[in-house]
């Protein structure tokens, strides 16, 4: 990072007339590192989001009803925390549907302000995407519907109102959307939901003295809100009673800005079996795994009878000059696993998991480049009424994406899963070889992404691409594209309820 940029960064995030001398900042900086390894009591069983109930309609569609509402939640001793939830007071139920199924939703907004629900990672028509153009007005109802057509994967949903996404998610609106496919039933991977196939929505939070969520932006921080306590599925300091040798964890980083470098307290290896968009071709054994905001991973961990071990986030290599301020030096205990005296041993990691993406040999219709810096992409801020470009249906494009300003960014594309072809010209690390919809951008490196666009054409309704660090996204590090039919041209975004 350039020194000037670093100094400028000191001005970001100062909420009031705070004046620190250089020496004072040094003290603040030194104290910013957090280490909770071995310090967490792990006194509460991990809560597992319920599977959403659904009904099959006369036409055979799977119908879900989701109510977004305010409430309050007890995270710790003392006052309850004011939160928002979906069909509850914090987070939402896990949606689950099969490839080929038609899904329909009734989304009721019981808040006193507009919000939306975006289906992150889902291949679907733009009008159903739940982005900033599909706002559900306060008190209103939205009925999206589409046919699931993609491999089994751990997807998720969250609000996406331009300028308010960080706020709505911080209050608690997020949930998982698990897609199953033809191969799911026959798979030997651990698959009993909440037993040996456990969802883990990981979020950092800062609590104030009254137990309310506090939007704590570090002094000199560049990423937005960083919390010092970690919730998993809304449980602070959770433990899991392990009853099987192999356990699958479906990890989601649903934090605003924090990067996790997952590992276990004894540095055991675990197997990465799936990334954002589905199963890898084969498992990759590792001791560490990075997940930036919005990314998911399915890992399989082996336990021995009677043991205890913690899932932890280790310090990161991506911090840069002032990284400590934004949590990159932190070591945080997240969840404790307590293995029973005898463990059931009925799952296996198959030698071949899924079909790896292979777009490398495809005809590339178009190449584009994206530079992320200063809350902008290619020097432009998100504008609700500007379509940045159109892509042609059923074509493959290669996007070259680079983080050019020294702070952490990632890159998320709606509607499609992509393949990382190369990182700075080299074959990507194994965890980037599966289907991805969100990718961490290491400073200065060129990520070449191959993306196949489907046939959900709509010249007027854009999909988004953006940094998934929510403060950056809200500040405008986002753009819009449309998928066009054969002779179509980008149209005009209908005037919706615009948020600024």
Interface map 87-126 toward ligand C2O (x if CB under 6 A) = -------------------------------x-x------
Q: Hey, which bits of 31-132 come out as E strands? A: 44-45, 55-56, 62-73, 81-86, 95-98, 102-109, 118-120
Q: Are strands 235-236 and 145-147 parallel, antiparallel or unpaired?
A: unpaired
Rg (CA), the chain: 22
Q: What is the DSSP string of 335-400?
A: EEEEEEEEEE------S--SPPP--TTSPEEEEEEEEEETTEETTB---TT---EEEETT-EEEEE
- Residues 464 and 91: their CA atoms lie apart, in Å, by 23
Nearer to ligand C2O, 436 or 466 (CB): 466
- Residue with tokens 């980037």, as numbered in its chain: 432
163: left (phi over 0), alpha (psi -120 to 50) or beta: left
Residues 322/222, Cβ–Cβ less than 8 Å: yes
Structure tokens at 277: 């968009």
Q: Candidates 73-81, 147-155, 446-454, 464-472 — which segment interacts with ligand C2O by CB under 6 A?
A: 464-472
Nearer to Cu ion, 274 or 477 (CB): 477
Among 40, 464, 483, 493, binds ligand C2O (CB under 6 A): 464
Nearer to ligand C2O, 331 or 409 (CB): 409
Give the count of residues interacting with ligand C2O (CB under 6 A). 10
Interface map 400-429 toward ligand C2O (x if CB under 6 A) = ------------x-x---------------
- Residues 43 and 52: their CA atoms lie apart, in Å, by 27
Binds 467: which of Cu ion, ligand C2O, none (CB < 5-8 Å by kind): Cu ion
Residues 225/215, Cβ–Cβ less than 8 Å: yes
| Of 90, 314, 287, 318, nearest in space to 205 by CA | 90
Binds 469: which of Cu ion, ligand C2O, none (CB < 5-8 Å by kind): Cu ion
- Residues 138 and 159: their CA atoms lie apart, in Å, by 13
Task: Work out whether 470 is an interface residue with ligand C2O (CB under 6 A).
Answer: no
Among 62, 296, 466, 472, binds ligand C2O (CB under 6 A): 466
- Residue with tokens 């991990």, as numbered in its chain: 46
Measured over the CA atoms of residue 133, residue 118, residue 110 and residue 102, the dihedral's sign is positive
Among 90, 93, 116, 120, binds Cu ion (CB under 5 A): 120
- Residues 319 and 322: their CA atoms lie apart, in Å, by 7
Structure tokens at 6: 């670093």
- Residues 390 and 377: their CA atoms lie apart, in Å, by 16
Q: Candidates 82-90, 319-327, 393-401, 463-471 — which segment interacts with ligand C2O by CB under 6 A?
A: 463-471
Interface map 156-175 toward ligand C2O (x if CB under 6 A) = --x-x---------------
Task: Work out whether 230 is an interface residue with Cu ion (CB under 5 A).
Answer: no
Minimum distance from residue 314 beta carbon to ligand C2O (Å): 25
Residues 138/111, Cβ–Cβ less than 8 Å: yes
Q: Candidates 102-110, 267-275, 390-398, 460-468 — which segment interacts with Cu ion by CB under 5 A?
A: 460-468
Q: What is the DSSP letter of 347?
A: -
Residues 458/425, Cβ–Cβ less than 8 Å: no
Minimum distance from residue 468 beta carbon to ligand C2O (Å): 6
Taking the CA atoms of residue 301, residue 304, residue 310 and residue 315 in that order, the dihedral angle to the nearest 10 degrees is: -60
Binds 472: which of Cu ion, ligand C2O, none (CB < 5-8 Å by kind): Cu ion
Task: Work out whether 472 is an interface residue with ligand C2O (CB under 6 A).
Answer: no
Binds 466: which of ligand C2O, Cu ion, none (CB < 5-8 Å by kind): ligand C2O
Widest pairwise Cα distance in the chain: 70
What is the footprint of Cu ion within residues 396-415 (CB under 5 A)? 409, 414
Among 472, 478, 479, 493, binds Cu ion (CB under 5 A): 472
Task: Work out whether 467 is an interface residue with Cu ion (CB under 5 A).
Answer: yes
Nearer to ligand C2O, 14 or 383 (CB): 383
Minimum distance from residue 100 beta carbon to Cu ion (Å): 22
Interface map 240-279 toward ligand C2O (x if CB under 6 A) = ----------------------------------------
Site of interaction with ligand C2O (CB under 6 A): 118, 120, 158, 160, 294, 412, 414, 464, 466, 468
Provide the binding-site residues for Cu ion, judged by CB under 5 A. Answer: 120, 409, 414, 467, 469, 472
């Amino acid at each position: 990072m350039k020194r000037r940029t670093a100094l400028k960064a000191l001005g970001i995030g100062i909420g009031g007339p705070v004046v620190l001398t250089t020496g004072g900042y040094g003290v603040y900086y030194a104290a910013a590192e957090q280490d909770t390894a071995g310090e967490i009591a792990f006194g509460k069983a991990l809560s597992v989001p319920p599977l959403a109930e659904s009904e099959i309609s006369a036409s055979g569609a799977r119908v879900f009803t989701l109510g977004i509402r305010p409430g309050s939640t007890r995270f710790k001793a003392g006052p309850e925390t004011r939160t928002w939830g979906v069909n509850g007071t914090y987070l939402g139920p896990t949606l689950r549907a099969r490839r080929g199924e038609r899904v329909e939703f009734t989304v009721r907004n019981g808040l006193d302000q507009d919000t939306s629900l975006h289906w992150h990672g889902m291949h679907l028509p733009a009008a159903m995407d739940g982005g900033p153009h599909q706002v559900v007005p306060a008190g209103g109802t939205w009925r999206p519907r589409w046919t699931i057509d993609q491999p089994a994967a751990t997807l998720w949903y969250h609000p996406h109102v331009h300028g308010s996404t960080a706020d709505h998610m911080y209050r608690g609106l997020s949930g998982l959307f698990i897609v199953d496919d033809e191969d799911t039933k026959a798979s030997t991977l651990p698959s009993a939901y909440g037993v040996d196939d456990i969802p883990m929505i990981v979020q950092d939070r800062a609590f104030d003295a009254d137990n309310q969520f506090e939007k704590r932006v570090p002094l000199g921080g560049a990423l937005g809100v960083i919390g010092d306590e970690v919730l998993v599925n809304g449980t602070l300091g959770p433990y899991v009673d392990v009853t099987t040798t192999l356990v699958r964890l479906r990890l989601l980083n649903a934090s605003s800005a924090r990067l996790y470098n997952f590992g276990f307290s004894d540095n055991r290896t675990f197997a990465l079996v799936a990334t954002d968009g589905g199963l890898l071709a084969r498992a990759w054994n590792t001791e560490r795994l990075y997940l930036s905001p919005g990314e998911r991973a399915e890992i399989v961990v082996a336990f021995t009878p009677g043991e205890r071990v913690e899932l932890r986030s280790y310090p990161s290599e991506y911090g840069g000059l002032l990284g400590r301020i934004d949590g990159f030096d932190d070591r945080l205990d997240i969840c404790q696993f307590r293995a029973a005296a005898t463990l059931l041993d009925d799952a296996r990691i198959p030698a071949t998991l899924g079909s790896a993406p292979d777009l490398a040999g495809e005809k590339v219709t178009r190449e584009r480049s994206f530079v992320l810096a200063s809350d902008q992409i290619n020097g432009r801020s998100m504008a609700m009424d500007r379509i940045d470009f159109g892509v042609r249906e059923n074509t493959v494009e290669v996007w070259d994406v680079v983080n050019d300003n020294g702070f952490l960014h990632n890159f998320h594309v709606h509607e499609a899963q992509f393949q990382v072809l190369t990182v700075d010209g080299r074959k990507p690390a194994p965890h980037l070889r599966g289907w991805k919809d969100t990718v961490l951008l290491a400073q200065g490196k060129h990520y070449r992404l191959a993306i196949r666009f489907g046939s959900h054409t709509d010249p007027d309704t854009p999909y988004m691409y953006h940094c998934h660090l929510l403060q950056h996204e809200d500040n405008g590090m986002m753009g819009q594209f449309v998928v066009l039919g054969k002779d179509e041209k980008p149209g005009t975004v209908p005037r919706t309820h615009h948020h600024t």
